[in-house]
Structure 1
Amino acid sequence: MSIRNLHHLFRPRSVAVIGATDRPQSVGATVMLNLMRGGFRGTIMPVNPKHAHVAGLPAFHDLSALPTVPDLAVLCTPARTIPDLVGQLGRLGTKAAVVLTAGLEAEAAGQGISLQQAMLDAAKPHLLRILGPNCIGLIVPGLGLNASFAEAAALPGKIAFVSQSGALATAILDWAAGSGIGFSTFISIGNSADVDFGDILDYLASDPDTRGILLYIESIRSARKFMSAARAAARNKPVIVVKAGRSSAGAVTAASHPGAMAGSDAVFDAAIRRAGMLRVETTQDLFSAIETLSRARPLRGEQLIILTNGGGPGIMAADALCLAGESLSVLTDETRNRLDAFLPATWSMTNPIDITGEASADCYGKALSTVLDDGGVDPVLLIHAPTAIVKSEAVARECAPLAAASSRNLFGCWLGGQGVLAARQVFARAGIPTYQTPEEAVKAFLHLLAYRRNQALLLQTPPSVPQDFSVDADRARHIIQDALHHERILDEFQAKAVLSAYGIPVVETHVASTVEAAAAHAEKIGFPVALKILSPDLTHKSDAGGVALGLESPDRVKAAARHMIEHIGKTHPDARLQGFTVQRMIQRPGAHELMLGMAEDATFGPILRFGHGGAATLVINDRAVSLPPLNLALAESLVAGTRISRLLRGYRDHPAADLPGLYLTLVKLSQLVIDCPEIVELDINPLLLDEHGALALDARIRVSPARLPGSGRLAIRPYPKELEEVCRLEKAGGKTMLLRPILPSDAQAYRLFLQTLSPEDVRNRFFCAMRQLPLSELSRVAQIDYDREMTLIMTDRNEAGEEEILGVMRLATDPDNQCAEMGIVVGTAWQSKGLGSALLSKGIRYCRERGTAGMAGTVLGENARMLALAKKFGFEAAPPHEGIVDIYLALAAGR
């Protein structure tokens, strides 16, 4: 992932249009017209070999005739010309291009590759970034830049819109212009051969002109790249997504687009939640959601109080809330008594609070004040239906100041048309989210609630190695490697052995190759027993007649075993029968049957599944999915996404199940998936769970040679706990400190660390007098993609027991892993004590292990300490230029 040279794309000072023309209704003419009408203040250079002027501007016959190197080139020429033109632009020094041309999937003549790949190969040596091909282009209204062939212009605003569909982009643009909605940036990515969602999200995350980001997605290619950028962006500003392909038919259509690869919609939903973004259903919801998130205060309570002057609207709002699986807040006795003191005797006495249609503006104000002052944190939805008794505007003016003075969220719903327009305007000017119907208002609350929960998931960064349990990974790997040489599906006995190696409780199971051996094992175990067929070809043994339960004697075991052989021989004649498994019949009345599993998604790689288990699991279809790695908080969230989770919490005379034990079992399963990349499918069904704990009764694992090592196949790389090390610093009196990668939770500690630096140290590290990073940059430093960058910190505990940052080393590797740009800063009070050496030594070892070709840095010439440190570790220093010294260390990978 890289934002290198993207500023040339989004902030160009000059634009060349290749294929510019005056021919009506052509792409080249439309682009030129849009650039001229947009008011772009930079240089516009049309390129056309047949015309001296285009759109009234001097035209240039070829690229060599251009008077200056364009920052941005817009290509409107035939597909076959694109690779050569891109190569010429790269050699010229252009760093960004928008390729509007379609049809680059065709093969490049005599090269054996597509025109698109030839284009990328031509751009790569010059680091020329390409938007497209097959896109509408981009618009940056604040610059007057309209490098697109869209019919409508974009108004300036604070929202960035990024679309994979050109047709939808033009429709949204037209609709937004009519609705007065503006944009900071409007981008059509087309085939996204180079610049994709990940790159754009990474750029927009720190764009000061962008308040929120809207995405229309049909498919994702590089899941890890997308997730890394999405998580970084969502830390800084709202990111809202609408995705095509929710239905099976839509997914097929989305996948048919050039280069698309559609995965499961449920998995995409899980990825969006994990990234801290918000997914909405319609394009209309995109804009209402961004308005809600930008206006509303941070949500604290998760229930809703409804205040209304009509029973019907209140019930409609309550229905919309409850049908979505959420609940109303329960009024306290104190609040009910306070309301009862001034409301009519006919008020509802409960939530929704119906204060009746004759309520005055003063009555509305008193009721709202009472609710806001009740000490709770739940948000309030105020609904008003117009009456002849009191004007809506008067109610709005009475209530708006109360909302402003409260820390709680207030949503407004003004039912009606022109008669309530003034009331809506009062609330809008007060910054109160306002809606036309109760259902719209409740949907806005649900968006805010989902966003809050997703942001909580975003902060979770599970480690790459277990912390709460121990595992016997070697035992599991031995079983899996043995299976790779024989059957690719582990039998029940082997699968349970793998689970047991990771501390997942399994029922004692024995393998019998014959009917007589099965009966003998049963006698040793003790009756009653469960008997199951052992076959790599029968996934659902009970459906095939391969399960017998509650067998109470050797004769019953033998009879059941013979019947299985006979029955399966008739119904599944090709199934290979390897014998039987025998296990004690578990008597746990009231235990829940659950299903845990793992599968591989086409886009996001390994996913974890949880839900209702047993023979009817496919019929009940109650399951949720999540992306590994998991920690206990993420496991709890996964379980909460199912209907059966309500039963697990206990009801009537059924005690609550051992939920902490279940969460830990899911974390263990996640660790197994991380450690054993050969596992491509895993099912535990059923897993019994009651108040006494969890127990796996049956399991199935399918394996295949690993394509990627360990966590390499995960869409989210876990926190690399294996990089942690304790350093003993002799120059600091033998003091020991912890050197580790940074975590998102370190953002505040990093801010405090910057404040301890002297002005000289700040200037030496950041080349300016900055003492405090903006929130957007602070989030980027603390929440990193451990796959493409690394921030190592040296920490120690202060007298209050809090972890403090004493030194930082940041490494940012280019997309080709050729060079890692580095920067080091050590706390002013801790310099000359060995911290810098420890950090740099660790950074060098880290880069060598990941095969990075070299490390580079930029140092102020006056920064003698850093130059001396670099020299000590073998860095070569270039001659100073303008007070700057470039340093470089060539690395031998693996040394």
Structure 2
Amino acid sequence: MTDLTGFFNPGSVAVAGASKTPGKIGNAIVKNIISSGYAGKIYPVNPKAEEIEGLTCYPDIKSIGEPVDLVVVAVPAAKTIDLARECGENGVKHLVVITAGFKEVGKQGLELEKKLVEICRTYGMGMLGPNCVGMMNTHAPLNASFSATYPPGTGDITFISQSGAMLVAILDWSVKTGLSFNKVISLGNKAYLTEAHFIEAAAKDPTTRVILCYIEDVANGEHFLEAAEAATREKPVIILKSGTSQAGARAASSHTGALAGSDLAYETAFRQCGVIRARSMPELFDLAVAFSEQPVPPNRNVAVVTNAGGPGIVATDAIENQGLAMAKFSKETIDELRQNLPAESNIYNPVDVLGDAGADRYRVALEKVLADPSVGSVVVLVCPTAVTDPLPTARAIVDLHRQYPEKPVLAAYMGGPILAPGAELLSQEGIPCFTFPEPAIRAISGMSRYAEFKEPGYDKDETGTDGDRETVSGIFDHVRQDGRLVLLGSEAYRVVAAYGVPAAPVELATSPEEAVELAEKVGYPVVLKVASPKILHKTDVGGVKIGLEDAGEVSRGYIEINENIQRYLPGVVIHGIEVQKMMPKGTELIVGMSRDIQFGPLIAFGLGGIYVNLLKDVSFRLARRLTRREIKQMLAETKAYTLLKGYRGEKPADIDAIVDIISRTARLVTDFPEITEMDINPVFAYTKGASALDIKITIS
């Protein structure tokens, strides 16, 4: 882990490219450092000035005469290389390179950026940027940026943004809303220090409670996964990832590759690391406020207290849509609500205290609901009727939450000026208050997912299946020597068998006589298949014969397949005919892998056979550190799981055998990064055991 203590809490700061001219970035940075209340030494650097903003100005870094902890760089791009080298030679620890004109402008800028990174590595300097707004630490305090806005107060949210424009807009918005930040980091080109470095730092920072990110991509997938997974064990990490369209999805030859879209790997990585993914900017900050001010719920059961039926129904729908549950009250709670609320009130969830409810009625309903042990969180809805008491009701909500601090309470004051004083009081007292129910319930959903991820023992059952690496390496070497990247079925069978995946035996024959010999070896009935990486759909060209029961059928089948290929695909080279043991019919499944450029192998599971791409009943997980618990969750996300459990009187399949196949496949593709795509389709699931049939493996 990179130590960023001196980056966020430097004893001295220099501004290279400082300016006397108002409106210049070099001037704004100096002013921001001063006005933030920074208590350390400030050194403006500009060879053409003697004094800037009342501070002595230095012609260069060396002339300062002592090592500087942090240098903010605002000189033209062409001068950054010499400046960075000078910083390194004079003991500077960290750089914030505001300057633009690097890889974002093309090839020449990219070369400049590479030189800048190399200098930082040579001298052991950390670098934020280039092409960034800068950074802030309200607890230092320090505003080493050219943002026009410095966030109010000293909050507990660390905000990391890849977009500088998004960052300054949010800072300006935060003044109006009163949202406070702890640290604010503009990543820019993230040529050296990335989102992963700052997530690591925020995880260890005692003044940070919530880590918030806006990112467009990940600089290093493996580092990100390690940082995010470690951080989410300490505190929530909430990320808005833009660029979710399918436009960038690459073409793929395997079923799994075709099903894996451009955004799928991020979605899967976030879920496995415990990252909460926001779908919009409002949701990002709604989640931030909720996590910052409320505890995570002990369960997914939500209670709703409302003074109007319609909003209560809207909230109920949202709870179901978010995968939460409506809390079921105990008999004692229902009896107490019946005794203390009007006869017309709904005493079941949602609790309707009626439109004439004042603060006292809200208070008694909330007290009974929060005391119920089945309730994990509460959403309070208030609509502006002629008798609504917005401010006293808000005080009642605050009081009751103090009595039950272990359960999150969120509110929706559904109105405008009439309800504004109450909504303002709630926000001031740490009760997130929204205009409508849906944002509150989305926030509870995110908090619930995070609470479940943090359950003890969540990741203690990582699979540890070992395989025969030497055998697999030898097969891959032979394939490459043969000038191929796609394995034959017989080769793929030996690869998965080396990792303990149960599969129907496959042997390669190059003559009718050999085919008969191999059929008798594996046992009748058998299937014959043409062996050629160039033929994707063997059945379409008469390249498959099934259910062959004796030597005569095998011999004739071998000859007929060769004749069919000569007729339909006369120019295609075939390696022979594969002889495979014909397995009894089972539930058809697919287990596959597609390798993502950032996060590595993605494992797929779902219904197999000819319906894979039609039904798209598939779930995904990263192969990295895949646990048996996650595999079982993966299965449960599909319709295939309904069949496996036993459907309409059918006996249940051996789910543990399927879990084992996925586990072994994950280990295989993790051990061999040269496997670029893999399909086992179908896998037959039986009441006892399972068997892989068709196996396709592509290597690099």
TM-score in terms of structure 2 length: 0.87
User: 1:213 aligns to what?
Assistant: 211
Bigger mean CA offset, 179-188 vs 138-147:
138-147
Contact 1:212 1:239 in 2 (8 A): yes
546-555 or 267-276, which deviates more: 546-555
Q: 1:362 to 1:36 in 2, by over 3 A?
A: closer
CA contact (8 A) 1:162 1:214 kept: yes
Structure 2 residue 610 is matched with structure 1 residue 608: no
**Distance in 2 of aligned mates of 1:474 and 1:371:** 62
CA-CA distance at 1:90 after TM superposition: 1.5
Out of 177, 180, 184, the residue aligned to residue 178 of structure 2 is: 180
Q: Does 1:669 align with 2:668?
A: no
2:113 pairs with one of 113, 116, 119: 116
Partner in structure 1 of residue 699 of structure 2: 703
Give the whole-Å Cα distance in 2 for the aligned partners of 1:412 and 1:24.
Answer: 45
Deviation at 1:370, TM superposition (A): 4.7
Task: Note the 1:769-780 alignment, pairs <5 A.
Answer: none
What residue in structure 1 maps to residue 488 of structure 2?
491
Contact kept in structure 1, 2:461 and 2:629, CA below 8 Å: no
Q: 1:87 aligns to what?
A: 85
Q: In the alignment, which residue of structure 2 is the partner of 1:502?
A: 499
In structure 1, the residue matched to 2:254 is none
CA distance in 1, matches of 2:357, 2:543: 69
| Contact 1:496–1:506 under 8 Å retained in 2 | yes
User: In 2, Cα distance between the equivalents of 1:519 and 1:113?
Assistant: 62
Is 1:231 the counterpart of 2:226? The answer is no
For 2:435, the equivalent position in structure 1 comes to: 436
- One-letter code aligned to 1:482: H
1:602 deviates by 0.8
Q: Partners of 1:541 and 1:396 in 2: how far apart?
A: 70
CA contact (8 A) 2:283 2:439 kept: no
Cross-structure match for 2:240: 242
The one-letter amino acid of 2:682's match is P
1:134 to 131, 136, 140: 131
2:609 is paired with a residue whose SS is coil
Cα deviation code 1:328-359 (max 9, x no counterpart): 45566776676566666766686545565466
Q: Is the 8 A contact 1:20 1:47 kept in 2?
A: yes
In structure 1, C-alpha distance between the alignment counterparts of 2:13 and 2:671, rounded to whole Å: 50
Pick one of 14, 32, 38 that aligns with 2:12: 14
Q: Once the two structures are superposed, what CA deviation does each residue of 1:107-149 show, in whole Å capped at 9, x if it has no partner?
A: 999xx99222322333334322221111111122333422222
Q: CA deviation at 1:364?
A: 4.8
1:242 to partner: Cα distance: 0.9
Which residue in the other structure is 1:681 paired with?
Answer: 677
Residues 797-828 of structure 1: CA deviation (Å, up to 9, x unaligned) = xxxxxxxxxxxxxxxxxxxxxxxxxxxxxxxx
Q: 1:35 and 1:654, CA in 2 relative to 1: closer, same or farther beyond 3 A?
A: same
> What CA distance in whole angstroms lies between the structure 2 residues aligned with 1:691 and 1:364?
55
**Are 2:243 and 1:284 equivalent residues in the alignment?**
no
Q: Kindly tell me: are residues 56 and 371 of structure 1, through their superposed partners in 2, closer, same or farther at Cα, counting changes over 3 Å?
A: closer
- 2:49 aligned partner: 51
Q: Quote the Cα distance in structure 1 between the aligned partners of 2:457 and 2:307.
A: 39
State which drifts further: 332-341 or 387-396: 332-341
SS across alignment from 1:232: helix
Mapping for residues 856-895 of structure 1, pairs under 5 Å: none
Q: Distance in 2 between matches of 1:383 and 1:40?
A: 43
Alpha-carbon distance in structure 2 between the residues aligned to 1:547 and 1:133 = 59
Whether the 8 Å contact between 2:248 and 2:262 is mirrored in structure 1 is no
The one-letter code of the counterpart of 2:615 is I
| SS state at 1:61 partner | coil
Q: 1:692 aligns with which of 679, 688, 691?
A: 688
Contact 1:263–1:602 under 8 Å retained in 2: no
SS at match of 1:442: helix
Structure 1 residue 251, shift from structure 2 partner: 8.4
Offset at residue 690 of structure 1 (A):
4.7
Structure 2: gaps (5+ residues): 251-259
Assess, with a 3 A threshold, how the Cα gap between structure 1 residues 453 and 576 changes in structure 2: closer, same or farther. Answer: farther
Contact 2:156 2:209 in 1 (8 A): yes
- Per the normalisation by structure 1, the TM-score is 0.69
TM-superposed deviation, 1:699: 0.9
Q: Give the AA of the match of 2:609.
A: G
Aligned to 2:257: none
Aligned to 2:632, which of 608, 632, 636? 636
Distance of 2:318 and 2:35 partners within structure 1 = 46
Question: What RMSD, in angstroms, separates the aligned Cα atoms of the two structures?
Answer: 3.6
Equivalent position amino acid for 1:595 in 2: I
Residue 681 of structure 1 aligns with an amino acid whose one-letter code is E
**Structure 1 residue 594 and structure 2 residue 589: aligned?**
yes
Matched position secondary structure for 1:490: coil
Match of 2:71 in 1: 73
- Bigger shift: 431-440 or 375-384? 375-384
CA contact (8 A) 2:329 2:374 kept: no
Q: Any residues of structure 2 matched to 1:523-602 within 5 Å, and which?
A: 530-542=527-539, 546-547=543-544, 565=562, 572=569, 574-588=571-585, 591-602=586-597
- 1:659 aligned partner: 655
CA-CA distance at 1:645 after TM superposition: 3.5
Question: Which of 147, 151, 162 is the equivalent residue of 1:150?
Answer: 147
TM-superposed deviation, 1:246: 0.8
Aligned partner (choices 245, 250, 271) of residue 273 of structure 1? 271
Letter in 1 for 2:675: I
Aligned 8 A contact 1:273 1:454 in 2: no
Q: Structure 1 699/422 Cα, relative in aligned 2: closer, same or farther at 3 Å? A: same
Shift of the 543–445 alpha-carbon distance from structure 1 to 2, 3 Å rule, reads farther
- 2:333 & 2:546 partners in 1: Cα distance? 57
**Structure 2 CA distance, aligned partners of 1:61 and 1:169?**
32
Alignment partners' CA distance in 2, 1:26 and 1:498: 63
Pair 451,113 (structure 1): closer, same or farther in 2 beyond 3 Å: closer
| Bigger relative contact order (CA 8 A; separation at least 6) | 2
Distance 1:419 1:484, change over 3 A: same
Cα distance change of structure 1 residues 21 and 361 upon mapping to structure 2, 3 Å threshold? closer
Aligned residue pairs total 686
CA distance in 1, matches of 2:393, 2:151: 36
Q: Deviations over 1:233-283 (max 9, x none)?
A: 22222211111211134889xxxxxxxxx9942111222222222111122
Q: Is residue 619 from structure 1 mapped to residue 618 from structure 2 by the alignment?
A: no
Q: Which of 165, 168, 192 is the aligned partner of 1:167?
A: 165
Contact 1:84 1:119 in 2 (8 A): no
